[in-house]
Amino acid sequence: MSKFIKRKIISIPITFLGITFILFSAINILPPQTLATAYSSSDKELTNEEISEIIKKYDLDSSIIKKYSNWLKRTFTGELGYSQTAKMDVLKAVKTYIPATIELTVFSIIPIFLIGNFLGVLSARRKGELVDKIISSVSSFFYSIPSFIIGIFLLLIFYGILGIFEPGRYSAYTDIMISSLSFKKYTGFMIIDSILNADIKVLMDCLKHLFLPAFSIFLGTSAVFIKITRTSVIEELNKDYVRTLRAKGLDEDYIMKKHIKKNILIPQLTVGGLQLIRLLGGVVITETIFDWPGIGSWGVKCALRLDISGVMGFAIVVSALFLIGNLIIDILYSVVDPRIRYE
């Protein structure tokens, strides 16, 4: 493992601590009486005595540093509080909701890379032709549409009018199937679970429900990726080594596959990393629109009813996903190009 990645891995917990501190300070704008609700562990309304008891117990009217260190101690023991929105502990809520979010993210990232790569290369090779113009204008069209509009239009067309796809993670039939005892929940990832249970019907149902939200994220996020692919391919095609390869009589497809596609990986990764933050923001909105029971839609519900521990848990998890995604991209960098050392 390179020195760079080691340094990255060390820096991530520090950044992560900083993030929790920022979020914690933001939450602490609230008066202690309101904050106390975050420390209760049931749905019951707190009485005044209970509130003052909690304030005393957790030093809620002391300095921010002290409060933060208390909070950190609690968090490290796995005590993240109780989310009234989810009606369960935050830790359990995260465990329940995160598979849906990861499933959606993975199923939208893969098409962005595969189809985005294909379309970008295609439009670079047909530079100036009709195909190129169509790809460029369609992708920049979708880039200008905010993700919630894309989502709601897809819902209008495919659910409202055509009735093909529907919101949610699975249909009522699947819900009955998966709650039966014979269906074992190994991972919480519906796709993996249904394959492990060899249940084709559930698998198809889940894929069908996954399509629309993933497609919505794909439309909103792939434009920049297509653009950078196109630009870098055109740049590479003008370089001397390509001329040499052509002079040697190699055919265009071979050059593309063996040389150019490898050389454009670095700019693609850079843009992929930058787009990750847009993607995660998009996931929050897309989940809300499509009733996708993931971290994002839970977070929005928490934020709407000021479920403090829920909001905090949600923001921390999303930031963690982002940091992990960035780390993966950094590792991929050094895999793709071993010359990269980052001194």
Residues 6+ apart with CB under 8 A from 331: 5
Angle between helices 200-237 and 172-179 (to 10 degrees): 110
Q: Which of 80, 90, 121, 155 binds another protein (CB under 8 A)?
A: 155
Q: Give the C-alpha separation, 282 to 297, whole Å.
A: 11
Q: Give the residues across from 89 on adjacent strands.
A: 82
Nearer to another protein, 204 or 277 (CB): 277
Contact range with another protein by CB under 8 A, out of 19-27, 90-98, 197-205, 249-257: 19-27
Q: Give the C-alpha separation, 126 to 132, whole Å.
A: 6
Virtual torsion, Cα 176, 182, 186, 189, nearest 10 deg: -30
Q: Is residue 285 a contact residue for another protein (CB under 8 A)?
A: yes
Contact range with another protein by CB under 8 A, out of 51-59, 67-75, 135-143, 211-219: 135-143
What tokens does 225 get?
A: 């990726």
Nearer to another protein, 14 or 198 (CB): 14
Q: Is residue 314 a contact residue for another protein (CB under 8 A)?
A: yes
The minimum distance between CB 153 and another protein, in angstroms, equals 7
The minimum distance between CB 217 and another protein, in angstroms, equals 14
Q: Is residue 234 a contact residue for another protein (CB under 8 A)?
A: yes
Q: Are 97 and 89 contacting, i.e. CB atoms less than 8 angstroms apart?
A: no
**Helix, strand, coil in percent for the chain, rounding step 5:** 75, 0, 25
Q: Is residue 29 a contact residue for another protein (CB under 8 A)?
A: yes
Contact residues toward another protein (CB under 8 A) are 15, 18-19, 22-23, 26-27, 29-30, 140-141, 143-149, 152-153, 155-156, 159-161, 163, 167, 231, 234-235, 238, 277, 280-281, 284-285, 288-289, 299-300, 302-304, 306, 311-312, 314-315, 318-319, 322-323, 326
